[in-house]
Amino acid sequence: VALTVQEATGTHTVCYDSGYLNTVMARSSITYIDGEQGIMRYRGIPIEQLAEQSSFLEVAFLLIFGDLPSKGQLDQFSKLVADHSFLHTDICDYMRSFRYDAHPMGIFISSMAALATTIPAGDLQQLDKHIYRILGQASTIAANAYRHRIGRAFNEPRMDLGYTENFLYMLDRLSERDYRPHPAIVRALDILWIVHADHELNCSTACMRHLTSARVDPYTAISGAASALFGPSHGGAAEAVVRQLERIQTIENIEPFLERVKAKEERLFGFGHRVYKSFDPRARILKEQVEKILELVKVEEPLFLVAKELEQRALQDEYFRARRLYPNVDFYSGVIYRALGFPTDFYPLLFAIPRIAGWLAHSREAQLAEAQLDVREHTHVVRPAQVYTGSAPRPFVSLEAGD
Ligand code: ACO
């Protein structure tokens, strides 16, 4: 809505756009989305091909540096990330100081910000020096947050394991014996992290660009972006899906539940998307993984039958078809996380770790554009305008005078 604002200096027109639905804040060459046709590409490469053929770190490299790595570049990148995955003991002590039942995302956000305090202030401004450390330490922090929650000692990362394998290893290793996560689970997590790595200017990524514009250090900025992701309206949908399935509980309850949804008494979580109106390409990829994981873990839980039946009935229902409501990425990621045994409050971390690749890519893109002083790209500190709706000028009244 265009508004005309009367100011002391004259009159000008501004666009009132509270959710930035129609405001472009950046030119970006990272992720392309066509919601009508269900297309998503990272740096021009279809997400389906990346999910099938690449690894999470390969995708992180692609997003951050703009091109797929050569074999040598990927080996070097992976080694640097692994080299930087060990945490300073002060950070481990800090993590142990949280209550045993603290929300793991709260621990993650705080520890990410705390990392900045272990680095000399002068070293903090150059993002490229910190990319490996942020990627490496994010998964160690997340694993420690999980271990803290279950009252177990932290596990040191292993240099000889891949990124997702190492993360699963740090979560689950119970003794000195040589524990290795199942390769199919490692691959499923890799795919989950590939499809979650970026989604152009979602709320947390916009937040990252916002913080980058103020030149805050990368650790504090990542912590800020993770805070935005922590919001139930952003990174909490997978958890909401599982809680909803728990509530529905049985197949008999699906029909009455759908009736309530159609009567607008509640929403069907995991369905519908602001951008994707024909299908969510990430959901298609994950649907296949759900089948594989359920087959592998062989958990006989009514929840999974309810999920399948709910998906089928909603897909055939005229209410959802007419409104172009299809399962989104969170419908399936919630089911996979549940099948893999992750506690529900850990889901936001499983979203945050891969999204760090996207946050770093956007931060780097914004910094490079500014360094090149490209007039088109050059932005000032992000500072949206407001329309003042408060009181007209009035004098201060002291407490005494008011009595
Ligand atoms: N369940 C039931 N009805 C729905 C749903 C849903 N999940 N989503 C939209 N609708 C209905 C609305 O009631 C509305 O109906 P009406 O035309 O009769 O009034 C119509 O569909 C359009 O709804 P909008 O809210 O305008 O759709 P929008 O595109 O703005 O919403 C959103 C997108 C917020 C994701 C919505 O679909 C939703 O709330 N989904 C459930 C939550 C969820 O799964 N979120 C995760 C999204 S994926 C991600 O963030 C990574």
Residues 96-136: pLDDT tens digits? 999 999 999 999 999 999 999 998 887 877 788 899 999 99
At 275, is the secondary structure helix, strand, or coil? coil
Here the tokens at position 179 are 């524990």
Instruction: Determine the Cα–Cα distance for residues 155 and 191; give it in Å rounded to an integer.
Output: 24
The arithmetic mean of pLDDT across residues 10-16, rounded, is 80
pLDDT for residue 223: 98
Residues 181-191: pLDDT tens digits? 899 999 999 99
Q: What percent of the chain has pLDDT over 90?
A: 72
> CA-CA distances (angstroms) from residue 70 to 41, 74, 364?
20, 6, 20
At 221, is the secondary structure helix, strand, or coil? helix
Is 269 close to ligand 1, i.e. is its CB under 6 Å away?
yes
Residues 146-179: pLDDT tens digits? 999 999 999 999 999 999 999 999 998 766 567 8
Q: How many helices (H) and strands (E) does the chain have?
A: 18, 5
Label residue 395 by pLDDT band (50, 70, 90): very high
Its pTM surpasses 0.95 = no
pLDDT for residue 379: 58
Active site residue 330: yes
Q: What is the CA radius of gyration of the chain?
A: 23
pLDDT for residue 303: 87
Q: Are 42 and 197 in contact (CB under 8 A)?
A: yes
**Whether the predicted interface score ipTM is above 0.85:** yes
For residue 290, how many C-alpha atoms fall within 13 Å in the half-sphere facing its CB?
A: 22
The arithmetic mean of pLDDT across residues 366-386, rounded, is 75
Q: Are 195 and 284 in contact (CB under 8 A)?
A: no
Torsion of Cα atoms, 344 then 346 then 348 then 354, to 10°: -130
Is 267 close to ligand 1, i.e. is its CB under 6 Å away?
yes
Instruction: Determine the Cα–Cα distance for residues 211 and 209; give it in Å rounded to an integer.
Output: 5
Backbone angles phi, psi at 293, to 5 degrees: -70, -40
Bigger pLDDT: 373 or 196? 196
Nearest CA to ligand 1 atom 4: 267
Is the alpha carbon torsion for 298, 285, 335, 56 positive or negative? Answer: positive
Label residue 234 by pLDDT band (50, 70, 90): confident
Active site residue 148: no
Label residue 6 by pLDDT band (50, 70, 90): low
The arithmetic mean of pLDDT across residues 258-277, rounded, is 93
Is 238 close to ligand 1, i.e. is its CB under 6 Å away?
no
Is 351 close to ligand 1, i.e. is its CB under 6 Å away?
no
Active site residue 88: no
Say yes or no to pLDDT of 374 above 60: no
Cα–Cα nearest to 225, from 334, 122, 134: 134
Cα–Cα nearest to 108, from 87, 81, 132: 87
Is 12 close to ligand 1, i.e. is its CB under 6 Å away?
no
Is 324 close to ligand 1, i.e. is its CB under 6 Å away?
no
What is the distance in A from the centroid of ligand 1 to the CA of 61?
33
Question: Probe ligand 1: pick from 239, 267, 268, 330, max atoms within 8 Å of CB?
Answer: 267
Question: Probe ligand 1: pick from 201, 244, 275, 325, max atoms within 8 Å of CB?
Answer: 325
